[in-house]
């Protein structure tokens, strides 16, 4: 197995096509993501943005094209390969998906103890450190339903970080939050970006995308319609669709 070249893209998408039945939702996606890059994906609902993200960690299977993460291709039929992939690619969901029957600390510790067979003490120490990092050091023994939405999402981030991924996928992670709770989550994501984590985020938070991302992708009807640095996309949109999308936001 060749070791991934440091300059090679960490996520490489070529000609990706995905159908639901007869409905084609991704019509040929080409994308290279470099290590440490922060990509924001914007677009109308139904444009395929979440579907593209979910292809990267295999929650959605695709019919045509190739997808490589760290030089390794996605093999949907191979459960072992998919699990190996998911140890390097973490995901945060719009609806948090914390496990309600486990405390916050146990939520964070579960996967490392089961999958990486970390011993309990080490996993606990790691969990405490991660919770401190997301600003929830005192919530180790709390239960998910005792936390606010913003707190739950930060726990979800800590839970994903516990697996020490190389890439983090964020699927509209603030869309289900009350407005006053959005900031605390975005601050954590910003700190991840500053530390050099490769991020792919589907988001509606345009100001945040402008501030934090290296590249913005505008998706429309299953294709990457426009792509470029945030200033270019937000200040000088080229296509009518992007212009219309941006004006509808104000």
Quick check: 2 binds other proteins (CB under 8 A)? no
Quick check: 160 binds other proteins (CB under 8 A)? yes
Quick check: 168 binds other proteins (CB under 8 A)? no
Query: Which CB, 99 or 148, lies closer to other proteins?
Result: 99
- Candidates 32, 63, 76, 114; binder of other proteins (CB under 8 A) is 114
CA distance 45 to 94: 14
- Candidates 91, 127, 167, 216; binder of other proteins (CB under 8 A) is 91
CA distance 6 to 73: 17
Query: Which CB, 146 or 244, lies closer to other proteins?
Result: 146
Quick check: 63 binds other proteins (CB under 8 A)? no
Q: How far is the CB of 162 from other proteins (least distance, A)?
A: 8
Q: Residues 13 to 52: which contact other proteins by CB under 8 A?
A: none
> Which one of the spans 89-97, 186-194, 209-217, 234-242 is the region binding other proteins (CB under 8 A)?
89-97
Quick check: 59 binds other proteins (CB under 8 A)? yes
Neighbours of 162 (CB within 10 A): 24
Query: SS3 string of 146-197?
Result: HCCHHHHHHHHHHHHHCCCCCEEEEECCCCCCCHHHHHHHHHHHHHHHHCCC
Q: How far is the CB of 49 from other proteins (least distance, A)?
A: 17
Neighbours of 7 (CB within 10 A): 7
Phi, psi at residue 186, to the nearest 5°? -65, -30
CA distance 74 to 18: 14
CA distance 203 to 210: 11
CA distance 38 to 60: 22
The per-residue b/e assignment along 73-108, b for 16 or more CB within 10 angstroms, e otherwise, is ebeeeeeeeeeebbebbbbbbbebebeeeebbbbbb
Query: Which CB, 48 or 144, lies closer to other proteins?
Result: 144
Quick check: 221 binds other proteins (CB under 8 A)? no
Query: Which CB, 156 or 219, lies closer to other proteins?
Result: 156
Please tell me the count of residues contacting other proteins according to CB under 8 A.
27
Quick check: 139 binds other proteins (CB under 8 A)? no
Q: How far is the CB of 241 from other proteins (least distance, A)?
A: 30
Q: Where does this chain bind other proteins (CB under 8 A)? A: 57, 59, 79, 83-87, 89-91, 93, 95, 97-101, 110-111, 114-115, 143, 156, 159-160, 163
């Amino acid at each position: 197995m060749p070791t991934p070249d440091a300059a090679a893209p960490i996520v490489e998408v070529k000609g990706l096509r995905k159908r639901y039945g007869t409905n084609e939702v991704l019509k040929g996606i080409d994308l290279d993501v470099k290590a440490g890059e922060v990509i924001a994906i914007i677009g109308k609902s139904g444009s395929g943005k979440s579907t593209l993200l979910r292809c990267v960690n295999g929650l959605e299977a695709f019919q045509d094209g190739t997808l490589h993460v760290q030089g390794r291709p996605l093999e949907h039929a191979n459960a072992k390969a998919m699990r190996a992939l998911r140890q390097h690619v973490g995901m945060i969901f719009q609806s948090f998906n914390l496990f309600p029957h486990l405390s916050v600390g146990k939520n964070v510790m579960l996967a490392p103890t089961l999958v990486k067979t970390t011993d309990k003490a080490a996993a606990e120490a790691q969990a405490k450190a991660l919770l401190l990092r997301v600003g929830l050091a005192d919530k180790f023994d709390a239960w998910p339903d005792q936390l606010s939405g913003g707190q739950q999402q930060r726990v979800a981030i800590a839970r994903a970080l516990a697996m020490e991924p190389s890439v983090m996928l964020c699927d509209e992670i603030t869309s289900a939050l009350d407005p006053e709770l959005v900031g605390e989550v975005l601050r954590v994501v910003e700190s991840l970006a500053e530390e050099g984590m490769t991020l792919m985020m589907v988001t509606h938070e345009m100001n945040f995308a402008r501030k934090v991302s290296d590249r913005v992708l505008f998706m429309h009807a299953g294709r990457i319609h426009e792509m470029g640095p945030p200033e270019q996309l937000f200040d000088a949109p080229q296509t009518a669709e992007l212009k219309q999308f941006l004006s509808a936001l104000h």
